[in-house]
Chain A
Amino acid sequence: MSEKFIERMIKFYLPLFIFLFFLLFPFYWMFITAFKSDAELYNLKLNPFFIHEPTFKNILMLFKATLFNRWMFNTFFVAILATILSLSASLLAAYAIQRVRFRGSGPIGISIFFGYLVPPTILFIPLATIIFQLKIWDSLWSLVLIYPTFLIPFCTWLLMGYFKSIPKEMEECAMIDGASRLRVFWQIVVPLALPGILSAGIFAFTLSWNEYLYALTFISTTTLKTAPVGLITELVRGDVYHWGPLMTGALLASVPVALVYSFFVEHYVAGMTGALKE
C-alpha cells in the first residue's frame, strides 16, 4: 500500500502541485500587492510573500483618484452589447448552416470558422481607417461593432456543434404538423439550444472583456476607456508606476470574468472543447 502511495505521490500529486503552484503564483502575488502600502512594498527587509500591515488605501485611490468605475462601466457596456449582437447573428447563422442546409451552407460555415483565426494585429490598421470614415472614432460603438469580428466566428462554430447534438425529430414533427420554419426555430430550436447559447454567451462576454488592442487603438478619451486600457494608460505615467492601485485594479477588473466563469465553469469547458472538436 505504501509503495502504491509513493508511486501515486511521484506520478500524480507532485507534478500536479508544481503545475498548480506555477499557474497560481502570479494571482497570489497580485492579491498580496493589492493590500500592501507603498512603504511596505518598497521595504526590502520584509518578506515580500506576506502582507504585514494590510491597507485599503489602494482601493480608495483607485476609486477616488482615477476613473476606474467609469472604465468598468464602459467595459460592461461594450461586452454586453457586443455579446448580444454576436449571439443573435451567430444563432441564426449556426441554425441555417447546420440545419437548413441550403446550397452553399458548407463553404459559408467553414469561411466563418476561419474568421476566428484572423488575428487583430492584422486588422487594426485598416479597421482604424474604416472606423474613421464611419465617424465612430473614439466612441464605444466602434468597439461594439468591431468585437463581433472575433465573437461571431467563435459563437457560430460553437452553436453549430451544439445544433449537431440536438435530435432533429422534434423539428421534423413540428413541420409535419404544419408549423412554419420560423416558428419551429423560435419555439423549438431556441429553447432546446439554450445551454449552447449560454456557453457561447459566456465565452463572448469574457472575450470582449479581455480585448485590448482595438480598445487601445480606437479610444483616446479617458472617460471612454475600457478597464484594461484605462489601468495601463492612466496609472503608468512616464516612470511613475503606482503598483498598489495597478494591482488592485487588475484584481478587481478580473473579478467579473472570474465570477461569470466560476458560475458557468462546466459550460465554459464544454464550450471550449466543443468548439475545438468540431
Chain B
Amino acid sequence: MRISENIAIQPGKRPGRRWRWSGLLEDRTVMGMAFVAPAVGLLLLFLAYPLILGIWLGFTDTVVGGTGEFIGLANYISLLNDALFWKVTYYTFLYTGAAVFFKLLLGFALAIVLNREFRAKGFVRAIVLLPWIIPTVLSAICFWWLYDTTFSGITWVLMKIGLIGHKIDYLGDPSNARIALIVANVWRGIPFFTIGLLAGLQTINPSLYEAASIDGAGGWHRFRHVTLPLISPLLAVVTTFSTIWTFADFQLIWVITKGGPANATHLYGTLSFQRAIPGGQFGEGAAISAFILPVLMISVWVCYKYMRREE
C-alpha cells in the first residue's frame, strides 16, 4: 500500500521499478488476479484439495498417522453390507427431513408474527436470534442436562400437572433420543429461518396486499397468492442452506448422545468421526462422509439455479 502512496504523493518522481509494479496493477486482469489470490489460494489448499483428497481416501485403507493402499470399493461394500450403516442412513434422513420441516414451518410462522409494527420490535428480533448465535456446543450441554432422566425440569412439570406418572428416559430410549435431538436442532435452527424470511417479507410492497384485499382476498388467499410466490426464491435458498447443514450435522449429536443409545442417533457425520478419530480408520471414515456429497451437490445446484434466476 505504501508503494502506491509514494507514487501518488510525488507524481513528479521519476518512474522506476516501483512505477512498473504499480502500473501493472492498473491492468484489470492483473489486479483482479492479485487481489483474489490470497482467498483463492487458501480455499484451494484447505477446501478444494481436501475435498478431492477425501474422496480418494474413501478408496483406501488409510489409518491415522499412516499411508494407505488403494483398495477400490472395499470400504463402500463393507458399509453397504453393514446393518448399522443402514440404521445411520435411516436416521440421517429422518433427522434432516423432520428437523428442516419443523424449522421451516415454525421459523416461517414466527417471521409472519414478527412482520408487523409493534413496540420493542428490534429487541424482540435480537432475542429471537440468540439460539442461533450462542455456540451450539454450549446450548447442547444445556439440552443434555434438560434431558436428564431424574432431574429434568420438563419431567417435573409434567408430573406436577399429572400428565405422566413416571419419569421419561429421554436419552436412554432410542425413539425418545431421536425425537429429543430433533427438537434441539429445531430450537437452534428456527432463528435462521425467521430472520432470513423476515427480511424477505419486509421487501414485499404493502400495496400488493391492499390490492388483493380490495379484490376480496382473505388472509389465507393473500398468503397463498401474494406472500408465497414473492418469497419462494428466498425460501428455497434458506431451506437449501438449512438442509445441507442439518444433513451434515455433528455438534448437537456428539455432545448429547455420541450416537447412542445402541447407535440409534448416529448421523453420517458422527459415525464418520467415530470411525476416523477415536477409531483411527481414516479410509472408512472418509467413505462414510462421502455419502454427504450427493446432498451437497444438490444444494449447490439449487442455489445456483436460484441465483441465476435472480440475475
User: Which A residues contact B (CB, under 8 angstroms)?
Assistant: 12, 15-16, 19-20, 22-24, 26-27, 29-30, 33, 41-42, 44, 47-49, 88-90, 92-93, 95-97, 100-105, 108, 110, 112-115, 117-130, 132, 145-146, 148-149, 152-153, 156, 178-183, 186, 206, 209-210, 212-213, 216-217, 227-229, 231-232, 243, 246-247, 249-251, 253-254, 257-258, 261-262, 265-266, 268-269, 272-273, 276-277
Contact = CB atoms under 8 A, between A and B. Distances in A.
Contacts of A277: 199-200, 234
Interface residues of B, number: 107
Given A128-B277, A149-B46, A231-B138, 9 more contacts: A93-B40, A108-B36, A126-B50, A146-B46, A186-B4, A228-B137, A232-B141, A250-B142, A257-B135
A74 to B, nearest CB: 14
Contacts of B33: 96, 102
Nearest to B132: A272
A276 B35 contact: no
Contacts of B272: 121, 125
Contacts of B35: 92-93, 95-96, 100
A149 B137 contact: no
B128 interface: yes
Interface string B108-143: 011001101010001011111111011111110111
B90 interface: no
A182 B22 contact: yes
Interface of B: 1, 3-5, 7-8, 11, 22, 25-26, 28-29, 31-36, 38-40, 42-43, 46-47, 49-51, 53-54, 57, 62, 64-65, 106, 109-110, 113-114, 116, 118, 122, 124-131, 133-139, 141-143, 145-146, 150-151, 153, 156, 187, 190-192, 195-196, 198-200, 234, 237-238, 241, 244-245, 247-251, 254-255, 268-269, 272-273, 276-277, 282, 285-286, 289-290, 292-293, 296, 299-300, 303-304, 307
A49 B296 CA distance: 42
A79 B251 CA distance: 18
A253 B138 contact: yes
25 contacts: A26-B131, A26-B146, A27-B134, A30-B141, A49-B156, A92-B35, A93-B38, A93-B40, A96-B32, A101-B28, A105-B32, A108-B36, A110-B304, A114-B304, A119-B292, A123-B54, A125-B282, A126-B53, A145-B46, A180-B4, A180-B7, A213-B251, A254-B138, A257-B133, A276-B234
B138 A228 contact: yes
A121 B289 contact: yes
Contact of A29 (B146, B150, B200, B269): B146
B300 A16 contact: no
Contact of A250 (B113, B138, B303): B138
A126 B199 CA distance: 37
A97 B43 CA distance: 16
A185 to B, nearest CB: 8
Dominant secondary structure of chain A at its interface with chain B = helix
B28 A122 contact: no
A87 to B, nearest CB: 11
Contacts of B241: 117, 276
